Amino acid sequence: MRHRKGFNHLGRTSSHRKAMLANMASSLILHKRIKTTTAKAKALRMYVEPLITKSKDDSTHSRRVVFSYLQDKNAVSELFREVSPKIAERPGGYTRILKIGNRLGDNAEMCLIELVDYNENMLEAKAAKPKSTRRRRGGKKKADGQPASAADVKDEVTEDATQEMPKEEKVSATPKEEIKEEVKEAVPEETPEVKKKAEADSEKPVAEAKEEKKEEKSEEKKEEKKEE
């Protein structure tokens, strides 16, 4: 019966289970990858990852705490000297489980559990993978298969527009010029007599204004004499 079971006991007693997990954790640290059942791998991941986090603080106390779990000096030395510097920047998730099918004898589900930072093939594939960018569907592409930039598309649009526009036909005379010619024909040329009359009419208001100023000055002088 389950009875508030919080983790997989793996069908073993407490002492047997702890010894088995300590042995598997030491093998994982030394060899970086081991083959086991999926149930044991999930239990091992819960057991070994807190120890790897503890190894980030390389102190005597941390080494003693890790040794109390692993009971293997070589595994503790490997963990603090080799593994710890490599996983220093990783905030967790130090292991990976890769399922490889079922075992022939009892049909148990098998897997590989490994340290993430030691799988060189996956790290190279991740580094070589280009960044994916979102682009509009049906965008024009260059000859080498790369998507065209916004400047290239703009140049193509302007070229198409210039090709489609019809050439302007030359017009003999604009409408404004035609109107000016018609006005000249309608208005007769000014004779010398007409010009003299126009000048005399323009001089009349000027003479009248001068006379008014003279009258105003004479009146002002008269008023000043009276006051004296």
Give alpha helix (H) positions in 37-149. 38-54, 60-70, 73-78, 84-86, 120-128
Mean predicted confidence (pLDDT) in 137-156: 56
Is 127's pLDDT higher than 90?
no
Is 168's pLDDT higher than 60?
no
- With a pLDDT cut of 90, the percent of the chain lying above it is 48
* Cross-strand bridge partners of residue 84: none
- CA-based radius of gyration for the chain: 51
Residue 228, H or E segment: none
Least confident of 19-28, 82-91, 170-179: 170-179
Residue 87, H or E segment: none
Q: 14-128 maps to which CATH number?
A: 3.90.1030.10
Least confident of 32-41, 69-78, 111-120: 111-120
What whole-number distance in Å separates Cα of residue 173 and Cα of residue 46?
93
Q: Assign 121 a pLDDT band (cuts: 50, 70, 90).
A: confident
Least confident of 32-36, 112-116, 191-195: 191-195
What whole-number distance in Å separates Cα of residue 98 and Cα of residue 27?
17
Mean predicted confidence (pLDDT) in 150-170: 55
Whether 142 and 148 have beta carbons less than 8 Å apart is answered as yes
More confident residue, 220 or 52: 52
What pLDDT is stored for residue 55 in this prediction? 95
What does the pLDDT look like over 199-209, one tens digit per residue? 666 666 666 77
pTM, two decimal places: 0.55
